[in-house]
């Protein structure tokens, strides 16, 4: 009996590993295909007025994209920070899922930014469970964009889910411009990712 259970578990583990490998190969193929469109460098030529780049980042990917946007647009930066310092653990994923379901969003540190003087405001963060990371919900819940031009962006493993739709629902009174999302890719695609950012901003 025990032997049978062990054999079944080994088979299940094998199937799981195979599914993960196929998924990773498909994502790698899609990333390569998408980013190959951005192998030509385009001159940056946008003029978006005074720019603010707002972002939340837990593990640094969104921070990297936000930094590139700020440096191209010569924008100011506002980092969304949570009062609690989230520690990485498998339980954290389950907790986030529960928090999203219960609309229980984390407390943020510090004052909200004063956006009066800005013409264009980028707002970005990671995708968590196919929607916005909970700190983004906290942030948008406290803001009123009063007709400001807001440009959303996200970073994710491979599936942005309903990030944009959820963003539009939460960003009160915003004129939401063209969204861009960035899969986490290896450093070998740094140039393509940078070109993608330039292309996106030039066409806002
Ligand atoms: C709790 C949690 C849930 C996530 N859910 C998704 C998801 O639904 N889809 C996806 O493609 N990536 C998902 N990810 C991966 C992150 O979106 C991705 O790593 C992101 O670039 C991290 O951004 P950051 O480094 O700025 O925190 C999730 C990550 C965490 C921590």
Band (pLDDT 50/70/90 cuts) for residue 4 is confident
For 129-163, write each residue's pLDDT tens digit. 999 999 999 999 999 999 899 999 999 999 999 99
| Nearest-angstrom CA–CA distance, 204 and 120 | 10
- pLDDT of residue 5 exceeding 90: no
Rounded Cα distance, 18 and 16, in Å: 5
Structure tokens that stand for 43 in this block: 């001159």
- The per-residue pLDDT for range 158-186, each reduced to its tens digit, is 999 999 999 999 999 999 999 999 999 99
Identify the structural domains of the chain with CATH numbers, from first to last: 49-202 (3.40.50.360)
Question: Is the CB of residue 127 below 6 angstroms from any atom belonging to ligand 1?
Answer: yes
Q: Is 183 in the pocket of ligand 1 (CB under 6 A)?
A: no
Name the nearest CA neighbour of 125 among 74, 173, 190, 171.
Answer: 171
Closest CA to 134 of 160, 168, 95: 95
CA of 127 to the centre of ligand 1 (A): 5
pLDDT for the residue numbered 17: 87
pLDDT of residue 116: 96
**Average confidence (pLDDT) over 24-47:** 91
Q: How far is CA 149 from the centre of its chain?
A: 19
The pTM (predicted TM-score) of the whole model is: 0.93
Nearest atom in ligand 1 to the alpha carbon of residue 57 is 26
Q: Give residue-wise pLDDT tens across range 100-134.
A: 999 999 999 999 999 999 999 999 999 999 999 99
- Provide the pLDDT for residue 147: 85
Mean pLDDT of all residues belonging to the chain: 95
Instruction: Tell which one of 126, 133, 134 to mutate to probe ligand 1, the residue whose CB is within 8 A of the most ligand atoms.
Output: 126
Alpha carbon of 94 to ligand 1 centroid (Å): 13
Residue 125 confidence (pLDDT): 98
């Amino acid at each position: 009996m025990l032997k049978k259970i062990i054999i079944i578990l080994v088979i299940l583990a094998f199937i799981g590993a195979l599914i993960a490998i196929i998924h990773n190969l498909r994502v790698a193929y899609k990333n390569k295909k998408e980013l190959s469109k951005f192998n030509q460098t385009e001159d940056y030529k946008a003029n978006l007025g005074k720019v603010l780049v707002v972002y939340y980042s837990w593990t640094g990917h969104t921070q990297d994209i936000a930094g590139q946007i700020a440096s191209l647009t010569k924008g100011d930066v506002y980092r969304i920070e949570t009062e609690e310092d989230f520690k990485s653990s498998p339980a954290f994923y389950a907790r986030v899922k529960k928090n999203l379901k219960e609309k229980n969003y984390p407390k943020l540190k510090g004052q909200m930014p004063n956006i009066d003087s800005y013409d264009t405001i980028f707002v970005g963060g990671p995708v968590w469970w196919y929607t916005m990371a909970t700190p983004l919900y906290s942030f948008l819940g406290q803001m009123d964009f009063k007709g400001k031009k807001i440009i959303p962006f996200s970073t994710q493993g491979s599936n942005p889910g309903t990030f944009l739709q959820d963003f539009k629902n939460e960003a009160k009174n915003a004129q939401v411009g063209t969204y861009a999302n960035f899969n986490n890719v290896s450093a070998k695609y740094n140039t393509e990712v940078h070109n993608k950012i330039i292309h996106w901003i030039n066409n806002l």
